[in-house]
Structure 1
Amino acid sequence: MKKLLLLCVLISFTAMGQNTYIHCGKLIDTKSGKVLKNKTIVVSGDKILSVDNGFITPKNADDKLIDFKDKTVLPGLMDMHVHLEEESNPNKYMDRITENREDVALKSTVFAKKTLLAGFTTVRDCGGTGVNIAVRDAINRGWIVGPHVFTAGRFIASTGGHGDRSNGRNLDLVGDWGPDKGIVNGISDARKAVRQRYKNGADLIKITATGGVLSEAKNSSNPQLTLEEITEICKIARDYGMKVAAHAHGDEGIRRAILGGVTTIEHGTLMSDESMELMKQHGTYLVPTITAGKEVAEKAKIKGFFPEVIVPKALAIGPKIQNMFARAYKKGVKIAFGTDAGVYDHGDNAREFTYMVEAGMPVMEAIQSATITGAEILDVEDSLGRIEPGYIADIIAVNEDPTENVETLKNVVFVMKDGVIYKQ
């Protein structure tokens, strides 16, 4: 009994000593979409204990006070489309041949840290070699610094399709890839590939429903999975508690992905008005990745940056994403913030906010797309995406009110994740 009493006292004392008080001149309430003034956030351990009116004085000598009366505080941001294993550069396609998995893993630690310090405390990694699963686990174990990671592991694609990472390689060396490496041709392959992703520890499934820009293949937008294959992938994914994200540029592939049951359409560049209406009917989210489109279009103008087969695709697809996004937003398609970081430099994710606002989305809605909407997609809406009591203490701060100057989101001056301060 005495030991139990002593333990309770120690726990109480420790909890009291760990409280952090954050005085917020302005606070973004992502649920209501309002900017609140003069609030105090109290953080205990990894959770938000309370959000109080006015500037509350810390109760104990061990409590920490952070004075942000001249700043705007908001929940940690979420990017629903990143690739933590790589970053675009002229040597990228050669790197895939010469680098070992250990090299990929070590580079990923740099990219993960850059992402977190930019204020993105949660990301959805939409495919790589599978090293991204180990990166997620290393972050969760506290071995390396990075955001909360939800990862697809490897892509699921068709032979020769976007996501078949053997494209452009010596076929005598790579052989005929199958479901274990995410390459499917038919219902049975599709079923096995999903189960393999589950076995490997993926959180979600990522498919490539159409051709893509950065794969070493000619077509950027043709459909590359049948409706039956996509439907089977979504069916098996549901059995294993996973959602499906679909890379898709061309309209026919987009239509098949929606009808097949995916949760999100990534990019959506050539989407028709009819497919936008179909998205609304099925509750499908659009993850637009405008930044990636602009980046590849610019890099394609630099001779030698991309293999020649990629250049015309980048010039044709990249400039069209922002206009498609504007149409989709006006039609009422659900939008989730996503950038395709890795196609451009990690840590520059907040560029997407500027492009979304340019296309007609109000700043507050753009912030909500990067907080509460992302949380909905990840099924963590009860713990992430808001600054409220009981939520995980993922908190960031910027110098100005983003609803008055969206550019301030590019300069995050404070980052707290799980109650731990990583940048101040």
Structure 2
Amino acid sequence: MRHRLLAAAVLSTLAMPAFAEDSALHCGKLFDSRSGKLLGAHTVVVRNGKVAEVLAGRVEAVANATAIDLSDRTCMAGWTDLHVHLGSQSSPASYSEGFRLDDVDFAFRSVGYAEKTLMAGFTSVRDLGGEVTPHLRDAINQGLVKGPRIWAAGKGIATTGGHGDPSNGLNDRLAHLIGPPGPTEGVINSVDDARQAVRQRYKDGSDVIKITATGGVLSYAKSGDAPQFTIDEVKVIVETAKDYGYKVAAHAHGEEGMYRAVAGGVTSIEHGSYMSDRVMALMKQKGTWYVPTLYAGRFVADKAKIDGYFPEIVRPKAARIGAQIQDTAGKAYRSGVKIAFGTDQGVGPHGDNAREFQYMVEAGIPAAYALQAATIHAASVLGVDDQGVVEAGKRADIIAMPGDPLADIGNVMKVDFVMKDGTVYRTPTR
């Protein structure tokens, strides 16, 4: 009910895009996410929310289409961030806010976070944990608020005491009041529980399943890398998810839990801090994707240096595990593991997602590959073929920025044109 009230409240307060009409985008350069190459001038014709034609050169006077001059900019497919949490954003108050705020408070915050994400060039996201996000997804799809297309996991699936157990850190009185969480709350301890938890996510309206295969950095628990599922439990989650057309993403820092998740058939490993050669070999064998979330690693390592930002039980994990991820990403790329783009924003500030590209390049990943990671690779992880490339018949998700991001990856921070499904949400101010 609270979320329905939220949608009604924001409807009258947010200005929606100025137009969603047929367009002819005159692009100075066009990044081809299939080849990873930057092409010369092209005209992209958009009709009914889809790319109708992609024409070489500048083609004037396209019939019944409004011209949009991006001749001094680089165009490309809208980006996808495969790991966000739009219902929250890290701060020193984050741990106490869970006791003081209601879901509707987080829902109102998520509206602003979603808009910032879209305006930064991210036309799609995969939200891997947050009960308000399925409702935010629906509000965006209904045109009530501005934001990216969302694949929402809802509540992640954990084990007792693991990363994602909502009772971690509670005193005995509070723990007694809420009772031990079970599959309905996303906490399992058997293969039967695992099936029930996935089915509950289906009932809740999730689009993807997220499991916490190891401990986590920011959870109120000592271990950040201990394994938290058996292989049989992971296999049952993956098999049950397949029944509903779901893919499974696995949060994982530690080596053993990561190996079990890959062996169990998950689609992607998130974070992967202590990924070993053994895990990389299995990922390549099974075609498992890696979503490094370098931004989150850098962010928590920096904040761990600040007294009072994290609880003391969290601080050493943030300092130790966060700093490891960037080195792992470079090694995984050189090893041939498939990499897709994700930030874990919600840990860091929403709207700053594109900084992940810079961290990927610093890790030794070529700029072209990093851009592919957020376009065509991300579409593969999601299991869709209608986005991630600027081609006839695909969604008209197109962004543009001044400068050449292949020559200077810092240009990704300058996005000033955003189109999603043919609707323009941001235009350059010249």
- TM-score, normalised by the number of residues in structure 1: 0.94
Instruction: State whether residues 22 and 45 of structure 2, in contact with CA within 8 Å, keep that contact through their aligned partners in structure 1.
Output: yes
The 1-side partners of 2:24 and 2:244 are apart by 41
How far has the Cα of 1:165 moved from its partner? Answer: 2.1
- Hey, what does 2:148 align to over in structure 1? 147
The 2-side partners of 1:111 and 1:151 are apart by 15
2:335 matches 1:334 = no
2:39 matches 1:36 = yes
The 1-side partners of 2:235 and 2:86 are apart by 28
The 2-side partners of 1:325 and 1:134 are apart by 33
Instruction: Give the SS at the match of 2:258.
Output: helix
Residue by residue over 1:124-159, the C-alpha shift from the partner in whole angstroms, topping out at 9 and shown as x without a partner, is 00112x211111111111111100100111000001
Residue by residue over 1:27-86, the C-alpha shift from the partner in whole angstroms, topping out at 9 and shown as x without a partner, is 0011122111111011112111111111111244x6311111111001100111000110
The 2-side partners of 1:59 and 1:376 are apart by 32
How far has the Cα of 1:378 moved from its partner? Answer: 1.0
- Hey, what does 1:3 align to over in structure 2? none
2:321 matches 1:317 = yes
- Hey, what does 1:109 align to over in structure 2? 111
- Identify the range of structure 1 (325-334 vs 164-173) with the bigger mean alpha-carbon deviation: 164-173
- Hey, what does 1:295 align to over in structure 2? 299
The 2-side partners of 1:275 and 1:31 are apart by 27
Instruction: State whether residues 295 and 344 of structure 2, in contact with CA within 8 Å, keep that contact through their aligned partners in structure 1.
Output: yes
Instruction: Give the SS at the match of 2:222.
Output: coil
2:244 matches 1:235 = no
2:377 matches 1:395 = no
How far has the Cα of 1:173 moved from its partner? Answer: 3.1
Instruction: State whether residues 284 and 336 of structure 2, in contact with CA within 8 Å, keep that contact through their aligned partners in structure 1.
Output: yes
Aligned match for 1:212, one of 210, 216, 239: 216
How far has the Cα of 1:315 moved from its partner? Answer: 0.6
The amino acid that maps onto 2:415 is V
Instruction: State whether residues 398 and 420 of structure 2, in contact with CA within 8 Å, keep that contact through their aligned partners in structure 1.
Output: yes
The 1-side partners of 2:95 and 2:192 are apart by 31
2:99 matches 1:97 = yes
How far has the Cα of 1:358 moved from its partner? Answer: 1.1
Instruction: Give the SS at the match of 1:96.
Output: helix
The 1-side partners of 2:362 and 2:301 are apart by 18
- Hey, what does 2:421 align to over in structure 1? 418
2:168 matches 1:164 = no
The 2-side partners of 1:389 and 1:343 are apart by 36
- Identify the range of structure 1 (261-270 vs 30-39) with the bigger mean alpha-carbon deviation: 30-39
- Hey, what does 2:26 align to over in structure 1? 23
Moved over 3 A (4+): none
The 2-side partners of 1:262 and 1:105 are apart by 29
Matches within 5 A, 1:167-246: 167-170=168-171, 171-246=175-250
How far has the Cα of 1:19 moved from its partner? Answer: 2.1
Residue by residue over 1:296-325, the C-alpha shift from the partner in whole angstroms, topping out at 9 and shown as x without a partner, is 011111111111100000011011100011
The 2-side partners of 1:412 and 1:327 are apart by 29
The 2-side partners of 1:151 and 1:19 are apart by 30
Aligned match for 2:78, one of 73, 76, 85: 76
The amino acid that maps onto 1:391 is K
The 1-side partners of 2:97 and 2:413 are apart by 29
2:354 matches 1:354 = no
Instruction: Give the SS at the match of 2:184.
Output: helix
The amino acid that maps onto 1:369 is A
How far has the Cα of 1:278 moved from its partner? Answer: 0.7
The 2-side partners of 1:59 and 1:145 are apart by 29
The 2-side partners of 1:21 and 1:231 are apart by 48
The amino acid that maps onto 1:248 is A
The amino acid that maps onto 1:235 is E
Aligned match for 1:127, one of 126, 129, 138: 129
Residues paired across the two proteins, number: 405
Aligned match for 2:59, one of 56, 59, 76: 56
The amino acid that maps onto 2:116 is K
How far has the Cα of 1:93 moved from its partner? Answer: 0.9
Instruction: State whether residues 250 and 270 of structure 2, in contact with CA within 8 Å, keep that contact through their aligned partners in structure 1.
Output: yes
- In structure 1, the gaps of 5 or more residues are 1-16
The 2-side partners of 1:45 and 1:66 are apart by 16
- In structure 2, the gaps of 5 or more residues are 1-19
> Taking every aligned residue pair, what percent have the same amino acid on both sides?
53
- Hey, what does 2:88 align to over in structure 1? 86
The 1-side partners of 2:414 and 2:28 are apart by 17
The 2-side partners of 1:192 and 1:51 are apart by 47
Instruction: State whether residues 83 and 345 of structure 2, in contact with CA within 8 Å, keep that contact through their aligned partners in structure 1.
Output: yes
How far has the Cα of 1:274 moved from its partner? Answer: 1.0
The amino acid that maps onto 2:72 is D
The 2-side partners of 1:42 and 1:378 are apart by 26
- Hey, what does 2:367 align to over in structure 1? 363
Q: What is the root-mean-square deviation in Å for CA atoms of aligned residues?
A: 1.1
How far has the Cα of 1:244 moved from its partner? Answer: 0.5
Residue by residue over 1:367-394, the C-alpha shift from the partner in whole angstroms, topping out at 9 and shown as x without a partner, is 001000110111212x100001111110
How far has the Cα of 1:285 moved from its partner? Answer: 0.5
- Identify the range of structure 1 (50-59 vs 137-146) with the bigger mean alpha-carbon deviation: 50-59
The amino acid that maps onto 2:259 is R
How far has the Cα of 1:410 moved from its partner? Answer: 1.1
Instruction: State whether residues 213 and 261 of structure 2, in contact with CA within 8 Å, keep that contact through their aligned partners in structure 1.
Output: yes
- Hey, what does 1:8 align to over in structure 2? none
The 2-side partners of 1:19 and 1:121 are apart by 19
How far has the Cα of 1:268 moved from its partner? Answer: 0.5
The 2-side partners of 1:238 and 1:303 are apart by 45
The amino acid that maps onto 1:303 is D
How far has the Cα of 1:97 moved from its partner? Answer: 1.1
